[in-house]
């Protein structure tokens, strides 16, 4: 299961009710900050999630509305919070710009109070935990090295306790090893194969986060069957030409991607203050009935349903 906390949902500039782009993905005790628009550190405080273990930052691209908050966040870590190290993942162009921002503007020749690791990202797996992988994929937007991210739990075969009871397998290390997929020899000498007590394979929860993007036909396979999709909806279809000019999505086109890819839920963000929220919702839901337009501090749980 994942939890998504939207910290900023505005496009380009903040509005009275929406801050610049940023969200947190939580999985067990791990937390990942995706993008860091100006004022993100204040949004973190207002949301109540705090800064603990918030040291992995994934950047979709180098535009200022997605990275300027890193200056304030680093300042907060320097003065008020303690973390072991800060890891920033992104394309080369974004990392170069962030490096200049942090070292030339914030630190100005001083040393950071913690190691800062700049981790260049291309498509493929970038983080692998015991039961989770985070992968990056390329998207088309203005400028190089624009990315989206896939958060995916590893699938598993569930342990069936009723079968274990029927076979007389006692609690303890034998069941633990069977859950891990290893055959065991019981105290009575019998050898039990994991297939005897494990159910059918079940895929893990899958969440796709797309930043700013101007073309989505190439993303259908990446998004296919996802339990949730987070994607921008900067424009309405009445200004589709402007959306194409600036390499952004309309609410309708993002909803069409969700429908075509067969995702279960879609959350729209990067909302322009030029539109009324109800009009963005109406356009998206005319295509994907359950589409949601996220607001700052909205929290959603994402689970894989059979």
Task: For 182-200, write each residue's pLDDT tens digit.
Answer: 999 999 989 999 898 888 8
pLDDT of residue 128: 95
pLDDT of residue 137: 98
Distance CA 275, CA 186 (A): 66
Q: What stretches in the chain show pLDDT beneath 70?
A: 306
Per the annotation, does 304 bind a ligand?
no
Per the annotation, does 131 bind a ligand?
no
φ, ψ for residue 225 (rounded to 5)?
75, 10
All residues at 6 or more sequence positions from 8 whose CB lies less than 8 Å from its CB, including other chains? 14, 18, 19, 20, 21, 22, 23, 35, 37, 39, 40, 43, 296
Per the annotation, does 248 bind a ligand?
no
38: number of CA atoms within 13 Å, CB side? 11
All residues at 6 or more sequence positions from 233 whose CB lies less than 8 Å from its CB, including other chains? 249, 250, 251, 254, 255, 268, 269, 270, 271, 280, 284, 293
Contact 280, 242 (CB under 8 A): no
Pinpoint the residues of the chain covered by CATH 3.60.15.10. Answer: 2-156+202-302
Can you name the CATH fold of 2-156+202-302?
Metallo-beta-lactamase; Chain A (3.60.15)
Per the annotation, does 84 bind a ligand?
no
Distance CA 237, CA 242 (A): 9
Which residues are annotated as catalytic?
Answer: 65
Element (H, E) at 26: strand 22-27
pLDDT of residue 78: 86
Question: Which string of b and e fits 11-36 if b means at least 16 CB within 10 Å?
Answer: bbebbeebbbbbbbbbbeeebbbbbb
Per the annotation, does 65 bind a ligand?
yes
Question: Which string of b and e fits 115-135 if b means at least 16 CB within 10 Å?
Answer: ebebeebeeeebbeeeebebb
pLDDT of residue 236: 98
**Helices marked H in the chain — which ranges?**
40-47, 64-67, 69-79, 92-100, 161-166, 173-179, 220-223, 240-245, 251-261, 277-285
Contact 215, 229 (CB under 8 A): no
Q: CA dist 172 to 130, 157, 166, 177, Å? A: 22, 19, 16, 9
């Amino acid at each position: 299961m994942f939890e998504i906390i939207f910290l900023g949902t505005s496009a380009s500039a903040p509005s009275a009710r929406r801050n610049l782009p940023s969200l947190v993905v939580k999985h067990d005790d791990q937390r990942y900050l995706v993008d860091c628009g100006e004022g993100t550190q204040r949004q973190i405080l207002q949301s109540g999630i705090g800064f603990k273990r918030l040291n992995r930052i994934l950047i979709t691209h180098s535009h200022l509305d997605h990275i300027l908050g890193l200056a304030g966040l680093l300042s907060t870590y320097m003065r008020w919070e303690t973390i072991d190290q800060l890891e920033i993942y992104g394309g080369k162009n974004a990392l170069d710009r962030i490096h200049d921002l942090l070292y030339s503007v914030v630190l100005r020749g001083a040393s950071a109070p913690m190691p800062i690791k700049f981790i260049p990202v291309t498509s493929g797996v970038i983080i692998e935990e015991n039961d989770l992988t985070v992968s990056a994929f390329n998207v088309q937007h203005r400028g190089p090295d624009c990315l989206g991210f896939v958060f995916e739990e590893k699938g598993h075969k569930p342990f069936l306790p009723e079968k274990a009871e029927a076979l007389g397998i006692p609690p303890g290390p034998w069941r633990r090893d069977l859950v891990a997929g290893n055959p065991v020899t019981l105290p009575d000498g019998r050898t039990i194969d994991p297939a005897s007590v494990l159910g059918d394979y079940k895929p893990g929860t899958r969440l796709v986060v797309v930043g700013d993007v101007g073309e989505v036909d190439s993303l259908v396979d990446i998004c296919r069957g996802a339990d949730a999709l987070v994607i921008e909806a900067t424009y309405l279809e009445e200004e589709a030409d402007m959306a194409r000019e600036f390499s952004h999505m309309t609410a309708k086109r993002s909803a069409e991607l969700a429908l075509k890819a067969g995702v279960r839920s879609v959350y729209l963000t990067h909302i322009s203050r030029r539109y009324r929220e109800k009009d963005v919702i109406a356009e998206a839901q005319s295509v994907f009935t359950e589409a949601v337009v996220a607001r700052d501090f909205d929290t959603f749980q994402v689970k894989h349903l059979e």
